[in-house]
Amino acid sequence: QHWRARSCAMLTGSGTVLADDPQLTVRQIDGQPWHQVCATNRQPLRIVLDSQLQTPPHAKIFDTPGVLLVHADASADRIAAVEARGAECLALPGSDGHIDLAAWMLEMGRRQFNEVTVEAGARLNGALWQAGLVDEVLLYQAPVLLGDTARGMLQFDLADLSQKRALNVVDQRRIGPDWRCLLRGE
C-alpha cells in the first residue's frame, strides 16, 4: 500500500481486470485508513491499457473516481459505457492494432507523472520490458514452488541467454515469510 500511495498512477492491463477485477486503490497503510497516513491525500490515477476496450462497465476499478482507459480502437458504445462510469478514454493506436506504448509514455510525461506502478500480467509486463519502459522492478517472492504451467512474470521471446537483461539489487528485505527485492537495470 505504501508503494501505491507514493505513485502518481497505477497501471494494469485488461487481462488483469477481466481475470481479477482489482480496485488498484490505496486502502489501509499499517492498519490505518489510507487518507489518515497518505502524504498526498489522493488516490493514484488508475490506468487500464485495453486495446479493444473490453473492460466491463461494472468492473470494481470504476467504484472509485480516477480511471483512464487507454485503447487502440473501440466502438463509440463501449467508450460511452465506461465514460458513464466516470472514466476518461484515450485512443493511442499503434501500427499493430495494439496501444502505442511510446505514445502512452509521452502522455504520462505530459501529465507530469514521475512514478507509475505496474500491477499487471505477464503479457503487459513483457511488452513494457521489451519497449524499454521499465526503470525498476519491485519483486515479492514467496517461498513456494510452482510447476511449469504457472504463469510467469514476463512474457517475451528470449532466443538465448546472451539476450538476458541484468538487474542490480538495490534493496532486499524479508516481509513475513516472503522476500521483497527492489531491482534496477544496469
Could you tell me which residue, 119 or 155, shows the higher pLDDT? 119
CB 112 within 8 A of CB 3: no
The answer for residues whose C-beta is within 8 angstroms of residue 104's C-beta and 6 or more apart is 49, 70, 92
CB 129 within 8 A of CB 117: no
Q: What is the pLDDT of residues 103-115, one digit of tens each?
A: 999 999 999 998 8
Laid out side by side, the sheet with 167-175 consists of 136-141, 178-185, 167-175
User: Could you tell me which residues are beta bridge partners of residue 158?
Assistant: none
Q: What is the pLDDT of residues 21-72, one digit of tens each?
A: 998 888 755 565 555 555 556 788 999 999 999 999 999 999 989 999 999 9
Mean pLDDT of 108-123: 92
Does pLDDT of 3 surpass 70?
yes
As separate numbers, helices (DSSP H) first and strands (DSSP E) second, the chain gives: 6, 10
